[in-house]
Structure 1
Amino acid sequence: MDQWLWMMIIFYCLSSGGGGVVGAPLVPAMFVFGDSSVDNGNNNFLSSIAKSNYMPYGIDFYQGPTGRFSNGRTVVDMLGEMLGLPYVPPYADPTTSGARILGGVNYASAAAGILEETGRHYGERYSLNKQVLNFEDTLNQLRSQINPSYLPQFLAKSIAVMVFGSNDYINNYLLPSLYSTSYYYNPKDFANLLLNHYARQLLALYNVGLRKFLLPGIGPLGCIPNQLATGKAPPGRCVSYVNEIVGMFNEGLRSLVDQLNSYHPGAIFVYGNTYGAMGDTLNNPATYGFSVTNRGCCDMGIDLAQITCLPLSIPCTDRNQYIFWDAFHPTQAVYAILAQRAFSGPLSDIYPINIQRMIQI
């Protein structure tokens, strides 16, 4: 039996409250980097107004409100279950140390982006650069727990999930009153700016030992309630300009995946077509059991463009029929679709291979 499997068995015995385990682990660990869509509690420990550690968030999660921006589990919670891992703990939690980090750590932070400045109007957050530094701190801790001769294999078999880009548009480029990027960069140049920053940090993670990367693209942000509330789209339609500019980023990210795979044959970088998966769900809601596509399930008050639910508000009861939970984030039901497509979907969903194949390499 592989050493990492023995370690994970010991970890499960030592851990408590680590929900999500569905079987023997298929990988040693999962390290999660990203924004609010995969934040599982880091912003609870930061001086930020981008928090979700209150009801009705978590209304369908066994632990209640945890800092997840969802009514229940997130896409990485579900991917972790498919991989046989416990829910990975948030880096900022003081108890995230010792045996708890052996199955992975979550560094994601609400309002964070690829650019350092993104989301600054919400207060503290872990930017992409800071999340990479935080991973290196975890790596130092792992060196004291894992045999040095085995650590490279542990890292190479683990999966890094990177969910970035949305905030660089919603909470930067599309807010000209707060950020100057749209004055200095046209959409194509801005996408290239983001991708260049992104590539440098991906290589930093590669250089310290990670080898398997899942890189989801940005979804159709022009269709989220936050953007629909701006009034820049005809009734029943999405904001086409927003979808067009995030499409430039997605095209570039898919090309970047090809380049990274070409120049790093010992690693595998995978592009997740979030735009296509969400677009299919929005265009064919009844096929997936949804009936409400243009507004969030939770109460966001008069300002329908705000991102988070009103504290202690009563959400809709038919949550599985809603695509969006709040003005920005999908419901747990949608995350289940995205997770399944990433894990076992065809090339149109995940390129060049799905996670099921990735873990076999």
Structure 2
Amino acid sequence: MELVTMSRTRVVLMTLTLVVVTVLNNTESAESARTFYVFGDSLVDSGNNNYLPTTARADSPPYGIDYPTGRPTGRFSNGYNLPDLISQHIGSEPTLPYLSPELTGQKLLVGANFASAGIGILNDTGIQFVGILRMFEQYALFEQYQQRLSALVGAAQAQRIVNGALFLMTLGGNDFVNNYFLTPVSARSRQFTVPQYCRYLISEYRKILMRLYELGARRVLVTGTGPLGCVPAQLATRSSNGECVPELQQAAQIFNPLLVQMTREINSQVGSDVFVAVNAFQMNMNFITDPQRFGFVTSKIACCGQGRFNGVGLCTALSNLCPNRDIYAFWDPYHPSQRALGFIVRDIFSGTSDIMTPMNLSTIMAIDSNIY
């Protein structure tokens, strides 16, 4: 009897040990994976707008048709979006939208996505979308998040996690397409020439990035605007034969070099390579100008939409829908397909200094593995 009792005790103790080790390993893996925070607009919104009183939503089919669940998630994509693909590359879980009720407990260690479709650098950008999270509101939520994280792991550890995190900031496109160029004569176009407007945007963007630094960010990917004049929505309304719209292309080509210059200046000011400029314009132009080289049949026609180039209006259940999303560079009138985003993420990780300034994400991860 004693032998049976002793063997049972050993089994119980071994089971308890395994449970404790498993819990500790899970906690360690959650803490060792790099925390990731996302700010910006629809290119990186993973579903915050689902919880807001706004028309800027991707919460109905066929959005999400290629997501693992096959259902819309609030991502402006047929499947994964840019933050999802970056998370996969850095070995982290996808960041949950901050407004999601699932973002609690250990999930806070993964990070959070604060992005909101429709917003811009300026607070008057996207006013037609009503209840979206402008940048000052995204930052207020980030401060709230940090308080929640402190309650979970303590203030010192929370600060260490934020300082060691990777950040993604994607802004600027809406300031052109949903503000300056929204109407033939807009309030901003009466106020500024395009070069003046670009300089004004950069001065405001600088304040946004400096505020993020004050909030603890020490590694931030800052994406420039894509080729705004080449998206199907602009081809549908402003081009005669499907050529990229010169006015929007020129605006992007003025804005993006100013952004690189501004990030360099801030890095010099703070004495560290905190901000990394991502040349999203060139990354997109690679497959827009030569879609066949990337396995696309077209970079002009959106997979989901209606009208010319499927670029008129929104992507809805009533829209034309291509059967194979992998051969379309654009999913809807404004957003690249999941497969196209894969090429962009590849460039973010391994791109040369002309598209990742001052370094690519692989280099960042290698350097930071020795620091954090």
- TM-score, length-scaled by structure 2: 0.87
The residue aligned with 1:86 is 93
Structure 1, residues 97-126: CA drift from partner, whole Å, max 9, x if none? 322221110011111111111111122111
Tell whether the 8 Å contact from 2:311 to 2:332 is kept in structure 1 after alignment.
Answer: no
The residue aligned with 1:9 is 26
Residue 132 of structure 2 aligns with an amino acid whose one-letter code is R
Q: Root-mean-square deviation (CA), in Å?
A: 2.1
1:201-216 aligned at under 5 Å gives the runs 201-216=208-223
Structure 1, residues 155-211: CA drift from partner, whole Å, max 9, x if none? 121011000001111100102368411110111111122112111121111112110
Of the three residues 322, 328, 349, the one matched with 1:322 is 328
Of the three residues 187, 191, 194, the one matched with 1:187 is 194
Aligned length: 344
1:254 equivalent to 2:260? Answer yes
Cα distance, 1:8–1:303 mapped onto 2, change above 3 Å = farther
Residue 258 of structure 2 aligns with an amino acid whose one-letter code is G
1:234-313 aligned at under 5 Å gives the runs 234-300=240-306, 304-311=310-317, 313=319
The residue aligned with 1:220 is 227
Cα distance, 1:299–1:175 mapped onto 2, change above 3 Å = closer
Contiguous gaps of at least 5 residues in structure 2: 1-22
Higher RCO structure, 1 or 2 (CA under 8 Å, sep 6+): 1
3-state SS in 2 of match to 1:308: coil
Deviation at 1:131? 1.1
The residue aligned with 2:52 is 46
Deviation at 1:143? 1.3
- Give the structure with the higher percent helix: 2
1:137-156 aligned at under 5 Å gives the runs 137-156=144-163
3-state SS in 1 of match to 2:237: coil
Tell whether the 8 Å contact from 2:273 to 2:358 is kept in structure 1 after alignment.
Answer: no
1:151-162 aligned at under 5 Å gives the runs 151-162=158-169
Structure 1, residues 255-276: CA drift from partner, whole Å, max 9, x if none? 0111011111245210111100
Query: Which is further off, 68-77 or 138-147?
Result: 138-147
The residue aligned with 1:135 is 142
Deviation at 1:144? 0.9
3-state SS in 2 of match to 1:271: strand
- TM-score, length-scaled by structure 1: 0.90
Tell whether the 8 Å contact from 2:302 to 2:309 is kept in structure 1 after alignment.
Answer: no
3-state SS in 2 of match to 1:226: helix
Tell whether the 8 Å contact from 1:55 to 1:313 is kept in structure 2 after alignment.
Answer: no
Deviation at 1:76? 1.0
Tell whether the 8 Å contact from 2:236 to 2:312 is kept in structure 1 after alignment.
Answer: no
Identity %: 32
The residue aligned with 1:18 is none
3-state SS in 1 of match to 2:244: coil
